[in-house]
Structure 1
């Protein structure tokens, strides 16, 4: 399992947070209970199975939703 932290340019409202959370939930291999979208720090944190998903999958979902990724980081957990 890996832990991803994605820093976004900005989150402007709670509905933005919900859109991003739902997008990340749609990725096969993401540990859904681990998803945490942080409004004040404009971050998305979640765990995923690296055999089924990648950080690129999450970045692509976020970009398709119209949000810009500032920085991504993946750590082993």
Structure 2
């Protein structure tokens, strides 16, 4: 599992949050999704056995937003 943060561009209104959230959560293997409008970021967990960061990036870009930066951090398996 990974914790992912993507810096986004093109957020113009609060309804953008819903569009991005639905796009990310429609992918198997994602969870704990938080879209931060004022910060222009989306944060979520990702199971890289089910999907990839690139697939999520492409989904976000397909609905009209830019992904400007991506940071990932491996989550410890407890």
Normalising by structure 2, report the TM-score.
Answer: 0.91
Q: Tell me the residue number matched to 2:53.
A: 55
| Deviation at residue 10 of structure 1 after TM alignment | 3.6
Taking the aligned partners of 2:3 and 2:29, their CA distance within structure 1 comes to: 12
After the TM superposition, which residues 14-33 of structure 1 pair with which residues of structure 2 at under 5 Å, given as runs? 14-31=14-31
What residue ranges of structure 2 are gaps of 5+ in the alignment? none
What residue ranges of structure 1 are gaps of 5+ in the alignment? none
Task: Tell me the secondary structure at the aligned position of residue 44 of structure 1.
Answer: strand
Normalising by structure 1, report the TM-score.
Answer: 0.92
Report the RMSD for the aligned CA atoms in angstroms.
Answer: 0.8
Q: Which runs of 4+ in 1 moved over 3 A?
A: none
Q: Deviations over 1:17-54 (max 9, x none)?
A: 100000001111112xx100000110000001111111
Asked which structure has the greater CA Rg, the reply is 2
- Residues paired across the two proteins, number: 75
